[in-house]
Amino acid sequence: MNRITEIRPSDKAAYNAAKERWDSIAKPLGSLGIFEDAICRIAAVQGSPDVDISRRTAVVFCADNGVVCEGVSQSDSSVTALCAREIAEGRSNINALARTYKADVKAIDIGIAEDIKCTGLINKKISHGTENMAVGAAMTREEAERAICVGLGIVKELRSDGARIIVSGEMGIGNTTTSAAVASVLLGLPASAVTGRGAGLDNAGLARKISVIERAAKVNRPDKNDALDVLAKLGGLDIAGMVGLFLGGAVYHIPVIIDGAISAVAALLAKRISPDCTDYMLASHVSAEPVGRLLLDAIGAKPVITAEMRLGEGTGGIMLLPLLDGALSVYNNAHRFDEIGLERYTPKC
């Protein structure tokens, strides 16, 4: 956690150099919209207008949540282990997309209730799931900090291995409940305003989920001004791992892509811990979950994709990669005003 004090704003000179390159391309100024800003932001993170995202990795944190015993989800915790195994062995949704977009996938056991031995699952287990937040704190503050350090350490390792961009992902039954609880406190909104149906709860299930979140807030009384307190009392180990991923991106100068609502909760927690880390984040899409847009607004992040996605695993985040590749094809290879003898466009307002 000590490395967090090293976080500084990204390199504005590199951002401006990338913008100058965009403006030299023979096209109307800013005509690729948010993609131009995204490439400039990556340049600022990497410290150079020569943007490189050729080595990309999706990191999927897998963990169980004790609150599942309250009936807040359609599935029980055994599904977390099943899905984690599928991701680790390359058979899940995120793996299919990663193969298409030439990305690696790392599945991290940061808190699965079961002990799984399978090819590809990286054991960074903090505990065998969290406690039931409806009756007490989900984890200790020390456990939350350790989980954040796992995320930081993974970014350090990926940086050493040559990764140039990271996609955040998660898998854990019950984590739409934990993320909604954290979002409710951080955003100062009632549970009913930020809680969705998750994998498909009926009306009775949704009402029960909201009630459990309200009870958890009342029992734990988290301090909204202390992100670690909120995370420890109401969050999950998967969320904590992603907090470390976002902070690690800022420490080690690698852009980290926000996936959906759960990932965005982690990004907002990271911002509350170290505000400058938002310079190192890119929002991929706005989740179909009710809180999706609210979280991105609180982070100050503009999503590229609006497609009503809510799958998780980093699937929305990884779908940003081919769009960035497309933007870079113009950024690096399109004709320029001086090359074709055309007078450059200039800003008119």
Query: For 82, how many CA atoms within 13 A lie in the half-sphere containing its CB?
Result: 6
Token pair recorded at residue 347: 């800003």
Alpha carbons 213 and 235: distance in angstroms, whole number: 11
Residue 88, phi then psi, degrees to nearest 5: -60, -35
Could you tell me if 174 and 67 are in contact, meaning their C-beta atoms sit under 8 angstroms apart? yes
Token pair recorded at residue 5: 């004090």
CA 161 from centroid of its chain's CA atoms? 21
Could you tell me if 44 and 14 are in contact, meaning their C-beta atoms sit under 8 angstroms apart? yes
Closest CA to 304 of 84, 16, 120, 32: 32
Token pair recorded at residue 130: 């969290």
Has 313 been annotated as catalytic? yes
The number of beta carbons lying within 10 Å of the beta carbon of residue 348 is: 5
CA 172 from centroid of its chain's CA atoms? 14
Could you tell me if 244 and 154 are in contact, meaning their C-beta atoms sit under 8 angstroms apart? yes
Could you tell me if 314 and 167 are in contact, meaning their C-beta atoms sit under 8 angstroms apart? yes
Could you tell me if 318 and 263 are in contact, meaning their C-beta atoms sit under 8 angstroms apart? no
Q: In residues, how long is the chain?
A: 349
Sign of CA dihedral 52, 53, 56, 61: positive
Residue 149, phi then psi, degrees to nearest 5: -65, -30
Catalytic residue among 70, 86, 145, 313: 313
Residues assigned a catalytic role: 313
